[in-house]
Amino acid sequence: MTTSCGKTVLFSKSGSAVVGLYVSADMGSVASATILERFEKAASQGTQIMQACDINPMNPYTFGVFAVDKLNDLELVRKNVHTWASGYCAAMPLTRPKDAEIKVNIPGGDLFMGSSNGTSVAQSGLSTDLEVRAECKTTKVIKDDDCTKLSVRCGIRGSDFIKFNPGKQNFCDTLKAGQVVCCSSGTLPDNKPEPQSDGTCATHTIGPDDTCYDVGAPFGLDEDDIAGFNKASWGWAGCGRLQLGQVICLSKGNTLMPATHEGIACGPQKPGTKKPSGSFDGWDLAKLNQCPLKSCCSGWGYCGTTTEFCTESPADTKAPGAFKLNTNGCISNCGTDIVNNKSPPKEFKRIGYFQAYNPGRPCMHMDASEIAENFKELTHVHFAFAGITADYDVNIPDDVKKQFDIFDKMDAPFKKILSFGGWAESTDAATFQRYRDVVKPEYRSVFSANIVKFLEKHKSFAGVDIDWEYPGATDQGIPAGDRTDGVYYQRFLTVLRNLLPSSKSLSIALPGSFWYLKPFPVEDMAKVLDYFVFMTYDLHGQWDYGNKFASPGCENGNCLRSHVNRTETRNSLSMITKAGVPAEKVIVGIASYGRSFRMADKSCTGPHCLFTGSYSVSEAEPGQCTDTGGYISNAELDEIWQLAGEGAEGVSAKRWHDTKTHSDIMTYGTQGNGMTDWVAYMSDKTKEERVAWVKTLNFGGTTDWAIDLAGYFEGPSKKDGSSNGGWSDFKADDLTCDSKDWPTSLEKLADNVDSINGNCRSLALMNILIKDLVAAVDEYKDVSKNFNDAFGWYADWVKDSIDDRIEEFLAPGRGKGLKYLDCEWKSNRGSDKGRCDETWPPVAPGGGAGPRVVWYTMRDEKGFYDALLAEAGIEKDWVEWVKQDAQMDPCVCFQNNICSPPGCQHGNNYEMRNNWLKRIKDKSKIKVSNPKEVVDEAIPSTDELITVAIGTFANMRLGNSDADPADIVTSFSMPIFMMQDASKSIKEMKEIGEDMKETHTRNLIINILSIVFAVIPFAGWAASALGGAARIATAALIV
């Protein structure tokens, strides 16, 4: 039958067989007949169903035929026909013949296909996307669709199509690819995805050119829907900032876990992170993997305490993990404010450390008895330092024993605190392990009990301070600390606190840097400690050299920065209070010393100017008393300033207060070379201002390292009338240079160097070198005449030796070039392949190895030719790879025709080398450089060198030279000494005859090289000259 809408539905019975047929309105009878004829042939071979059901919405053609053998199966026929009539495709058998293509001509098919011949392809098993829903039949808009095309695809009139899709007056003008539209009456089905079974939202991974509309349209979602589902998704920055590969939510549910990345330290993208249990969103993910000390986790997933890590910059969506473009953002614990400081402390402590070992310095000594009269503001004095014995008892070292007795027995207006440790004992090879051991479970009670016993004996002490520098540290030049150090330290402090009388205080020292502070569980420690000595000094020092993270904006770390920078101090105070420590328990560090540097440029003193030295070596002047480069006391700095003001010879200084860092800066020098060093420190005025600032922030007080560095005191030697030393005893060196008594040769200078003022020795040496230079140049010119006569045979010798050097370079078992090649070999004993230095044809003892065939293949071409040049002195363009090269085994035959090894005279013992390296056949193409060419090019520069040397000497005498005298002498002495050696070598070379080349060739080449390298340092650095010298040097390896 043909329905009112043009569809054909037919049921037919023949015997017990029943066939059902469905043809859509647009198929046409000719096309239907063609397909039906095809089915008739297929049915005879057992096919039960055939359908043409095209999923392309531009081809709205459906044909279906279904056959059964028994009338009882009529219901199956009816169901399949009903499926086709309803706009669906019937289910196909899981096992069936391969789907076939049937090409049929459909009249008017070009209306849908855009084809001129109206040919449509129907493939069995395809499905249409014209579907029946509970609400309305639907189809999807594809690119370039309009309402006319859609109404034709739906098989309805245009007016009906508009009626079935109400809501927008400009509906036809706003169609977009992927949009679902109605083809019948009813409402659009609710296509919205559902959350996954584990509670995770339905997801979509953004592909190239995806937009929110593209993604949402097939599901009936608009941009607002998608934005709503993702408002708490990690990294959601809005539809306008979709990223390729980004996974977004298309339904309600738990947010997705973002991808992890190696190197991430905090937040949900740290490797190994597991998603939270139960219901969660992106804000819950932000709490994962918090940074140590509750420090900031930047948007990139790195921990820090500065604005680079702590500044929030949320994207317009305000979603977690999403930030404004070109900003770092912050995930958790954001901000750099000082917290936990609402109330002032009950007592504002003024603590000073007393270095009891100070009498061991050359000068600037202080006796414990002098503390009270000179530092009346102090409330506590920490005695530095006690130590730990090998059996975990209290140790008072010999170098502090005398001062300890004085300190212990004297009456004082301040509280006395016994400090253990310090940098030296914490890092010394003999003692560092003791600090790691005493906090372990088996020893913490032992050491704690011994401390309590010691305080019971020395009752004048009001408390204990532990200065372990530092638990968990990994870069102190000793074995790295353990991750458990910090936890064990906290548990040790708990035990000690429980054993100490409540009247005794307990404190520890803390580093001011995030790197060293990380292992300290300070929040838990604060519960058992009375206060922390927070060392907010040494924020910069010589150790910054080479560390690009040490000083912002300084790539190599070696920029002039203040170690007491108040801005950086404030950042440290934010760090410690955010970590959970109340401000009232934090004693802020101030310093009575400076960190000094040797300036790379004496005229450049700003924060981006550089200092010299290395990570572990400071070139700054050591103080007269502190005697340590890079570390100088306030007392010494004040004395230098005073001497410079008085015009002391060789001493100069300039100082100012830097308001940006709230530090005092001084440039100075004491050796007559001008102001060579830069130092940042805190004057007495600056220290008092820092104390007042700390007090306004409600911290617990300040601690000064160290009071004995603040001035020149009388010290323990005052009773015998001796001086305490220092710059008060300074006498400038005699800087005059009188040349009349200077030695005239290097030997005499070496023997009498102490008779010449230190600042004059470079001048005396330069005076000798100029005379030697003139003589050396003259001799060099004279002896190098007729040099070319000795060179010709040398070049031939180099060329003829190349193959022998190759044999050695690739010699089995020892050749330096074998590791760069792969070998495959066959012999009477078997076969193998692999790296040439690892596999080789075996040779039986006594000879008679038989034929061996080896194929060579390059495995590392660059490495091979680099080694060929370095080990054999052979350049790449001197050699070529030949197809085959036979190497006969040695064969010795005697008069009785007996040969060794037996049978070798028949030529059966050989190695056939396939793809073997040989010297190129035309050896005239090998260029062996003549060193005389290098010499000839250098001679004019040699003459000029004399003029330069004399002019430089004159500037040195007049004090007009900016260069280091030692550098000047070195630069001139090298070519002079080489020139003298070259002249001697040329003389020896000219005595070697043609008949002596077999025994003297290698010595000759060494002599030639000495000539070349004598000239190169001052030859004008011509590229051709340097290239020639390099070739001569490598050629020498061949001989």
Q: Which residues participate in catalysis according to the annotation? A: 469
Q: Cis bond leading into 965, ω under 30°?
A: no
Q: With contact defined as beta carbons under 8 Å apart, do 473 and 480 qualify?
A: yes
* Three-class SS state of 994: helix
Phi then psi for residue 635, to 5 deg, are -60, -45
* CA neighbours closer than 13 Å in the CB half-sphere of residue 130: 24
User: Using CB atoms within 10 A of its CB, is residue 1026 exposed (0-12), middle (13-18) or buried (19+)?
Assistant: middle
All residues at 6 or more sequence positions from 314 whose CB lies less than 8 Å from its CB, including other chains: 322, 323, 324, 329
Instruction: Please tell me the distance from the alpha carbon of residue 214 to that of residue 590, in angstroms, as a whole number.
Output: 62
The pair of structure tokens assigned to 1015 is 């000239």
End-to-end CA distance of the chain: 105
H or E element that contains 21: strand 17-23
All residues at 6 or more sequence positions from 848 whose CB lies less than 8 Å from its CB, including other chains: 901, 902, 903, 904, 909
Q: With contact defined as beta carbons under 8 Å apart, do 921 and 906 qualify?
A: no
Helices (H) and strands (E) in the chain, counts: 29, 34
* Three-class SS state of 186: coil
The pair of structure tokens assigned to 998 is 């077999």
Rg of the chain taking only CA atoms, in angstroms: 46
Q: With contact defined as beta carbons under 8 Å apart, do 579 and 293 qualify?
A: yes
The structure tokens 């975990």 sit at: 392
Q: With contact defined as beta carbons under 8 Å apart, do 81 and 72 qualify?
A: no
The pair of structure tokens assigned to 572 is 């440290």
The pair of structure tokens assigned to 126 is 């395809």
Phi then psi for residue 36, to 5 deg, are -65, -40
The pair of structure tokens assigned to 509 is 């020292």
Phi then psi for residue 690, to 5 deg, are -70, -40
Q: With contact defined as beta carbons under 8 Å apart, do 93 and 23 qualify?
A: no
Question: Nearest CA to 104 among 63, 45, 152?
Answer: 63
Kindly give the interhelix angle for 997-1015 and 1023-1035, rounded to the nearest 10 degrees: 150
Q: How far is CA 625 from CA 107, 424, 595, 682, 874, in A?
A: 109, 18, 15, 19, 60
CB neighbours (10 Å) of residue 694? 23
The pair of structure tokens assigned to 351 is 């603590």
Altogether, the residues listed in the chain come to a count of 1039
CB neighbours (10 Å) of residue 178? 16
Question: Nearest CA to 230 among 259, 204, 267?
Answer: 204
* Three-class SS state of 773: helix
Q: How far is CA 1037 from CA 701, 986, 997, 1033, in A?
A: 72, 20, 16, 7
CB neighbours (10 Å) of residue 132? 16
